[in-house]
Amino acid sequence: MQYRIGADAVLNQVCSLAINYHKAQTNVEVSCQAAYPLVQPLTIIMSTLRTC
């Protein structure tokens, strides 16, 4: 079975998890821009896996 996940969907999911985790830790609002550098490598990995 082949799983197809859009990079945007992955990015949004990871970003939401990162923001929720940060809120739980510090109780401070965090923008998605702050989490983006962390998920960029994941997006690259996902796009690489899709082309294999």
29-39 per-position pLDDT tens digit: 555 566 667 77
Among 8, 9, 32, 12, which Cα is nearest to 22's?
Answer: 32
**What is the pLDDT at residue 24?**
67
Q: How far apart are CA 38 and CA 52, in angstroms?
A: 23
Q: Residues 4-51: pLDDT tens digits?
A: 667 778 778 887 887 777 666 665 555 556 666 777 777 787 788 777
| Residue 39 Cα to chain centre, angstroms | 5
